Structure 1
């Protein structure tokens, strides 16, 4: 344990007491959780960001949107608006948040996307505007206990699993480890390729120490696709990369690029959900000029790309190649089938019950 952790420990105890009291009030009924007739599936975590919730939501949409009429509901973190908003052609990242905008950009012809801090108020509004919706996937609502979700999928990273993390401010946990029991499914994300069954067993055993009953536990990695050009110029992807990100941890991307033979010269890391400004483009331009003789490319994430493109910041660096690295969740066929069968069964059975 670091020395600073001894200083932060009393604050973590206070935080634990506050969150434990809140959860206890829901558990005994002093605070009420609202169920809905429409099936609700929560994708959340115990930690503060960085567990891959958005790629996992997109994974569910990729697999299920052809079978069901789905909606995605998010708080819309980082947006400049408040209250309920339905994503439309005129929406921007500032209106609905960068991650909901990313999802809308990809799935607007298949999925209804909405944002709202108060989920139990937003859900009826979604259904009023889209009565054909057969299920709602909620991004980052594990702590939103005013909603009685039908299925809670809890994500925790392989690199920093919940059982090795600590409560804020010592660590990144929003609530105590024992609250993993509220999950119906647990998924370890950002797993290395070719993860052995032995390593999986170790993680399952460590997780079981916090569970009151057995729960399905799965393992998911990230698969990076072929980068595509973001700007209007006729550029090709170079072998040397300057990585520009506004995410919690860019290290997995660096490792993936180097495994594919790319060389990451520099990482320009901004805070999560960062709102890029004109001066940031000048900084990127300056770093690019330093390495311009090395066949270098600026590479960013899909989440960052929606803001760079929407805010017209790319126009400030028209002669610099900017590429986007797509990413998706990857699971073994067996585990993927088991997880999706659970979600599909919930949607089918609950909608059948509501029709009786």
Structure 2
């Protein structure tokens, strides 16, 4: 263990105690969790970020939207608005936050809302006419004021929660025992060629409950980068001199996917709000070259960059094995919960 982790361990023990008491109070019913009459699916993780929640949320949207009236509810991290906001034609990343605005831009036929108070957010969504038949909560695993009907816990390959420590010595928001609340565990960002033996090794580390299913996914990159009114194949983009910009938790895979030896790679904090100076720096680095960014950063940058200058690379989650079983498990929950409701 690194020295800094050893120094911070006492603070992690204090953090563990606070979280353990909090979870105990919810588990025993002393603190109340609210349930709802519609199926509610919560996606989240035990760690502080970088597990691929947005691609997993989009996977669920694609799975459900054609058969159910669907809504997503997020906190709207780093947005400049307050309270409950339902996305409409006036929405942007400042109003919704980058990830919810990404959902709204890609799936305008669903309801996309933000509210730090998830109970209030769901109550507002259920007052819509027509109201949603299924609600997906993005990044709500620790939001225990809502009792979701189905929990999807994500953990990233190479950084699984079983190998991590609680904040501040590590990156865990709560102890590993919190994984017991999950209905399914998804190991994200795996190599596409991960072997069955390695999958079994990871499962043993995670120690799932007998009723929990563990799935393995990889990130699938599009073969095209997109701009406002044009697109370029990734094969061609790799050969171009360009500037790559990423304001995400773990940008290395994005850079590795597109960069060549002459490219400039600019890294910013996750959910970064790009300032006028940042734009000037990016344009100065780019000069006559194009700028390629992540889909999440694109929604923050697109109105701040010259037309034709900015492109983004979409990604999506792809199940390595047993994807049909995952789909069936989710659809069975939604179908049964809808019938019961």
Equivalent position of 2:54 in the other structure: 54
Distance between the aligned counterparts of 2:250 and 2:187, measured in 1? 16
Partners of 1:243 and 1:264 within 8 A in 2? no
In the TM superposition, 1:1-356 aligns within 5 A as 1-109=1-109, 111-208=110-207, 211-231=208-228, 237=237, 239=239, 240-257=241-258, 262-263=260-261, 265-289=263-287, 296-309=289-302, 312-315=303-306, 321-332=309-320, 334-354=321-341
Structure 1 position 122, deviation (Å): 1.2
Distance between the aligned counterparts of 2:52 and 2:3, measured in 1? 30
Partners of 1:241 and 1:263 within 8 A in 2? no
Distance between the aligned counterparts of 2:99 and 2:180, measured in 1? 27
Structure 1 position 257, deviation (Å): 2.8
More displaced, 11-20 or 249-258?
A: 249-258
Distance between the aligned counterparts of 2:70 and 2:173, measured in 1? 28
- SS class of match (1:205): helix
Distance between the aligned counterparts of 1:87 and 1:223, measured in 2? 27
Structure 1 position 233, deviation (Å): 8.0
- CA pair 264-328 structure 1, distance change in 2 beyond 3 A: farther
Q: Deviations over 1:280-301 (max 9, x none)?
A: 1211122224xx5xxx532101
Which ranges of structure 1 fall in alignment gaps of 5 or more residues?
Answer: none
Give the root-mean-square deviation of aligned CA atoms.
1.8
Q: Deviations over 1:1-40 (max 9, x none)?
A: 1111111111111111111110011011110111111000
TM-score normalized with structure 1 length: 0.90
- CA pair 128-251 structure 1, distance change in 2 beyond 3 A: same
Structure 1 position 130, deviation (Å): 3.8
Q: Deviations over 1:96-145 (max 9, x none)?
A: 11100000001012x11111111111112101114341110100000011
Distance between the aligned counterparts of 1:25 and 1:84, measured in 2? 27
Structure 1 position 263, deviation (Å): 4.7
Distance between the aligned counterparts of 1:80 and 1:35, measured in 2? 29
Structure 1 position 212, deviation (Å): 4.5
- SS class of match (2:270): coil
Structure 1 position 170, deviation (Å): 1.0
Structure 1 position 238, deviation (Å): 5.6
Distance between the aligned counterparts of 1:271 and 1:157, measured in 2? 19
Partners of 1:233 and 1:321 within 8 A in 2? no
Q: Deviations over 1:153-175 (max 9, x none)?
A: 00000021001111111111000
Name segments (4+ residues, structure 1) moved above 3 Å.
211-214, 231-238
More displaced, 198-207 or 278-287?
A: 278-287
Partners of 1:120 and 1:146 within 8 A in 2? yes
Which ranges of structure 2 fall in alignment gaps of 5 or more residues?
Answer: none
Distance between the aligned counterparts of 2:231 and 2:201, measured in 1? 49
- SS class of match (1:314): coil
